Amino acid sequence: MEDKQTALVRRLYQTWPGRLLLKLLVRPWVSKLAGAFMDSRFSCRMIEPFITRNSIDMSDYEERTYRSFNDFFTRRVTEGRRPVSMERGHLVSPCDGLLSVHSISRERRFSIKGQSYTLEELLRSSDISERFEGGLLLKFRLTVSDYHRYHYPDNGSKTENTKVDGILNTVHPFASERRPIYKENEREYFSLISDNFGEMLYIQVGALLVGRICNNHGRAVVYRGEEAGCFEYGGSTVILCLERDVARLRDEFVTDSNEEIRVRMGETIGYATF
């Protein structure tokens, strides 16, 4: 059974009332206005109903007064609530979310936030995508009630962030094949030249409407468990791409299955093959 978030995305893309609404919602001024409201103190009144509606266990998080809904949405966990395995060969989850695992090939398409991409299309770079041929794509789908900060899965050297802007596509009324109105989600990515897993490609996919990707660092030396950034309001996705044969995942993560398994940041999800 699909969750409420998935059902909403489906209705936006696959029904004509949804597509009409989507055409309005993807206007840049609408996103900016919504984002400004989420940053304002007036949005605080949304916090308690949101907690109740999504059954969020607030004992996981720091006890404090929030200045806005976005301040609440990017809340930090209480120290000790997300222990990170520091065993050298352990591959740890970079975030909370629903994890599915997929093999990478040139033609392989991945469903991300209601759209279908090859890795090359997701990055808009054939040079980078080719380096991960035969590897694994780990997709962590965050729901709106999840912890929305993400962390580094290993020690290493981080490259600069590359931003990929979303594209607005519209239906031509005379086209023989009508294409639904949609806006590709904005995304950012960087490489982590890690100590234990070779080059890791780390992609953040933002929410469709008002979500923002906030990465903490440019080029830097980083450490396992250190906070890498956060998503502001909206469901989001973190993608981790591994090179061929650098890691094996735990048995419950079946490659190329549509099954999603809930994981928490810092949890061991696999092991290095060295």
Catalytic residue among 68, 93, 129, 236: 236
Contact 128, 174 (CB under 8 A): no
- Domain containing residue 235: CATH number: 2.70.70
- Is 176 a known active-site residue? no
pLDDT one digit per residue (tens) for the chain, 274 residues = 556 556 666 666 667 676 666 666 666 667 778 778 989 999 999 999 999 999 999 999 999 999 999 999 999 999 999 999 999 999 999 999 999 999 999 999 998 877 789 999 999 999 999 999 999 999 999 988 899 999 999 999 999 999 998 765 443 333 323 444 456 778 999 999 999 999 999 999 987 655 689 999 999 999 999 999 999 887 689 999 999 999 999 999 999 988 999 999 999 999 999 8
Q: Which residues contact 26 (CB under 8 A, 6 or more apart)?
A: 168, 181, 182, 183, 208, 209
Residue 95 lies in a domain: yes
- Is 96 a known active-site residue? yes
Residue 58 lies in a domain: no
Residue 102 lies in a domain: yes
Catalytic residue among 39, 96, 146, 154: 96
Q: What is the pTM of this model?
A: 0.86
Q: State how many domains the chain has.
A: 1
Range of the domain at 227: 81-272
Residue 139 lies in a domain: yes
Residue 48 lies in a domain: no
**Which residue, among 99, 64, 66, has the nearest Cα to 257 in the 3D structure?**
99
